[in-house]
Amino acid sequence: SQKIEQNSEALNIQEGKTATLTCNYTNYSPAYLQWYRQDPGRGPVFLLLIRENEKEKRKERLKVTFDTTLKQSLFHITASQPADSATYLCALGGVRGYNKLIFGAGTRLAVHP
């Protein structure tokens, strides 16, 4: 069956460290993968998009990798700050040719001072 898995437990890290979040999927062949940030009581906010022919993408302190063989994406936040505390959602896109997204359940990140 089709599945998207993200770390179900919260990730707690110390300020200044690198946070690494994982997104694994099975039985999908996405054309691209996106990462969104969601704060409590708010809608998701787009962070990064990586396409199937790209291995890595960076934006400021954020880095995402995409391995279509392993069916996995890793999302890194370097030099993390308490303001990075939020839930991070991965989303598969371009499945069956549409630009609709299929979201994972999200991972809650808590960065402690």
Partner 1 sequence: DAGVIQSPRHEVTEMGQEVTLRCKPISGHNSLFWYRQTMMRGLELLIYFNNNVPIDDSGMPEDRFSAKMPNASFSTLKIQPSEPRDSAVYFCASSSQGSDTQYFGPGTRLTVL
30 touches partner 1 by CB under 8 A: no
Give me the amino acid identity at 76.
Answer: H
Q: What part of residues 62-91 is at the interface with partner 1 (CB under 8 A)?
A: 89
* Residue whose CB is less far from partner 1, 9 or 42: 42
CB of 14 to partner 1, least distance (A): 28
Q: Which residue has the tokens 């996106």?
A: 34
Binding flag, residue 104, partner 1 (CB under 8 A)? yes
Whole-number minimum distance, CB 73 to partner 1, in Å? 15
Give me the phi and psi of 96, to 5 degrees please.
60, 25
CB neighbour class for 14 (10 Å; exposed up to 12, middle 13-18, buried from 19): exposed
Question: Which residue number, 19 or 36, has a Cβ lying nearer to partner 1?
Answer: 36
* Contact (CB, 8 A) for 26 and 2: yes
